[in-house]
Amino acid sequence: MEITYSSPSATSLSFSNSSMPTSGRPVKVIPLQHPTTTSSSAAGGFGAGNLVKSWTTKVKRMTWVHWMELLLPCSRWIRTYKWREYLQSDLLSGITIGIMLVPQAMSYAKLAGLRPIYGLYSGFLPLFVYAIFGSSRQLAVGPVALVSLLVSNVLGGIVNSSEELYTELAILLALMVGILECTMGLLRLGWLIRFISHSVISGFTTASAFVIGLSQVKYFLGYDVSRSSKIVPLIESIIAGADGFLWAPFIMGSAILAVLQIMKHLGKTRKHLRFLRVAGPLTAVVMGTTLTKILNLPSISLVGDIPQGLPTFSIPKRFEHVKSLIPTAFLITGVAILESVGIAKALAAKNGYELDSNQELFGLGVANVVGSFFSAYPTTGSFSRSAVNHESGAKTSLSQIVTGIVMGGALLFLTPLFEHIPQCALAAIVISAVITLVDYEEAIFLWRIDKKDFLLWVITAIATLFLGIEIGVLIGVGVSLAFVIHESANPHMAVLGRLPGTTVYRNVQQYPEAYTYNGIVVVRIDAPIYFANTSYIKDRLREYEVEVDQSTGRGPDVERVYFVIIEMAPVTYIDSSAVQALKDLYQEYKLRDIQVAISNPNRDVLLTFSRSGVVELIGKEWFFVRVHDAVQVCLQHVESLNETTKTSDSSPKDKSSFLQSLVKSRSEDLSVSQLESGFQKLPSFNETDPQLEPLLSRKP
Q: Write the pLDDT tens digit of every residue in 191-211.
A: 777 677 788 888 988 998 899
Q: 566 near 599, Cβ under 8 Å?
A: yes
Q: 567 near 523, Cβ under 8 Å?
A: yes
Residues near 491 by Cβ (< 8 Å), separated by ≥ 6?
525, 526, 527, 533, 536, 537
Q: 172 near 322, Cβ under 8 Å?
A: yes
**pLDDT score at 13:** 46
Residues of the chain scoring pLDDT < 50: 1-2, 4-23, 39-47, 651-694, 696-700
**CA-CA distance, 31 to 530, in Å (whole number)?**
27
Query: What 3-state class would DSSP assign to 548?
Result: coil
What are the CA-CA distances from residue 203 to residues 74, 456, 459 (Å)? 35, 8, 8
CA angle centred on 132, ends 128 and 136, rounded to 5°? 100
**pLDDT score at 545:** 76
The full set of domain ranges for the chain reads 76-304+318-485, 490-642
**CA-CA distance, 238 to 212, in Å (whole number)?**
14
β pairing state of 563-567 and 520-525: parallel
What are the CA-CA distances from residue 620 to residues 33, 119, 594 (Å)? 10, 69, 17
**CA-CA distance, 28 to 2, in Å (whole number)?**
6
Return the axis-axis angle of helices 198-216 and 145-156, rounded to nearest 10°: 70
β pairing state of 520-525 and 505-507: unpaired
User: What string of DSSP letters covers 371-414?
Assistant: HHTTTPPP-EEEHHHHHHHHHTT--STHHHHHHHHHHHHIIIII
Q: 94 near 399, Cβ under 8 Å?
A: yes
What values do phi and psi take at 615, rounded to 5? -60, -45
**Helix, strand, coil % in the chain, rounded to nearest 5:** 65, 5, 30
Read off the DSSP letter of residue 312. Answer: P
pLDDT tens string 686-700: 444 443 444 544 333
Q: Report the candidate in 568, 485, 587, 569 with the shortest Cα–Cα distance to residue 533.
A: 485
What values do phi and psi take at 141, rounded to 5? -95, 150
Amino acid at 28: K
- 140 has which bridge partners? 382
The upper half-sphere exposure of residue 610, i.e. CA atoms within 13 Å in the direction of its Cβ, equals 18
**pLDDT score at 350:** 82
Q: 428 near 286, Cβ under 8 Å?
A: no
What are the CA-CA distances from residue 226 to residues 218, 230, 299, 308, 474 (Å)? 9, 11, 20, 31, 24
Query: What 3-state class would DSSP assign to 142?
Result: strand
**CA-CA distance, 636 to 658, in Å (whole number)?**
16
Q: Report the candidate in 68, 135, 145 with the shortest Cα–Cα distance to residue 433.
A: 145
Query: What 3-state class would DSSP assign to 616?
Result: helix
Query: What 3-state class would DSSP assign to 523?
Result: strand
Q: 231 near 211, Cβ under 8 Å?
A: yes
**CA-CA distance, 693 to 698, in Å (whole number)?**
10
pLDDT tens string 643-676: 666 655 554 444 444 444 444 444 444 444 443 4
**CA-CA distance, 567 to 570, in Å (whole number)?**
8
Fold entry, domain 490-642: Transcription Regulator spoIIAA (3.30.750)
Q: Report the candidate in 596, 436, 448 with the shortest Cα–Cα distance to residue 523.
A: 596
Residues near 159 by Cβ (< 8 Å), separated by ≥ 6?
165, 166, 169
Q: 506 near 496, Cβ under 8 Å?
A: yes
What values do phi and psi take at 350, rounded to 5? -70, -30
**pLDDT score at 490:** 92
Q: Report the candidate in 30, 28, 19, 14 with the shortest Cα–Cα distance to residue 596.
A: 14
**CA-CA distance, 242 to 147, in Å (whole number)?**
29
